[in-house]
Amino acid sequence: MPDHGPVSGGDVLLRAQGLDCGYAGRAVLTGVELTLRAGDRVAVLGPNGGGKTTLFRTLLGELDPLGGTLALHERCAVVPQTERSRLDFPVSATDVAVMGAVSRLPWWRRPSRADRRLAREALGQVGLSEHADRTFGDLSGGQRQRVLVARALVQDAPIVLLDEPFTGLDAVSAEQLERLLLSLADGGRGLLIATHDVEQARRWGTVLCLNKRQIAFGGADVLTRGVLEATYGGEIVNVDCAVHGGHPVVLPAHHHEH
């Protein structure tokens, strides 16, 4: 049976061994071998339906593991895609950030003034102090994404799962977000970041490739052409690799469903 006990041993935040994940007893992702340590930024690569979201839901406790072992240290926070967020509710950036407190409060307690203070401090950490009272839906895509990161900070979880956080961001917003994620890792959090950007994954240094099973896990050097073909199949496009540092280039179709 899968083990949900805490991780022991230094800075290991998460360890999965032979982990199978799925729905209603049917595995859709198998054989995950993953260790996440404090300060790690792990890019999670894979096509639509490859298992990224299923893995995240299992780590969040929304799905029970179907096999193997999963050991977690405390809890995970999740940063969803901002474009999946409802934008028509008249809530402020602070209101959204303070929602992070709800996960650690008894069901009968409302967030307190102290929780709102923490939310404003988190907005300051992501560079949005001056936008704390603005309506969430009126913010730019990059600003909304940083508000969702602030909400995760309020949860005070050592593991942060980010579901394609760069989707729809312009270059400036993406650069701001990447700097923010680096600062979170430098502060000791472990990050799992679902992305379709292979070159971005190379910069982060550690990658997890999924396509209904684990294809590879390790440093950027695991991103060989064979691994990319197994991960993305026919979606690999042959281009002049000389302009991309000699690396094969993958141009996967853009998807939002997993």
The two three-digit tokens of residue 229, written as one number: 């073909």
| Full-model pTM | 0.83
User: Do 16 and 99 belong to one domain?
Assistant: no
pLDDT(147) > 70: yes
Residues 191 and 116 in one domain: no
Alpha helix ranges (H) inside the chain: 52-59, 93-98, 113-125, 141-155, 171-186, 198-204, 225-232
Contact 31, 18 (CB under 8 A): yes
Question: Which of 114, 132, 157 is the endpoint of a domain?
Answer: 157
pLDDT one-digit tens code per residue, 92-102: 999 999 998 88
Tally of structural domains, the chain: 2
- Rounded CA-CA distance 225/186 in Å is 31
Reported as a single tens digit per residue, the pLDDT across 12-61 is 999 999 999 999 999 999 999 999 999 999 999 999 889 999 999 999 99
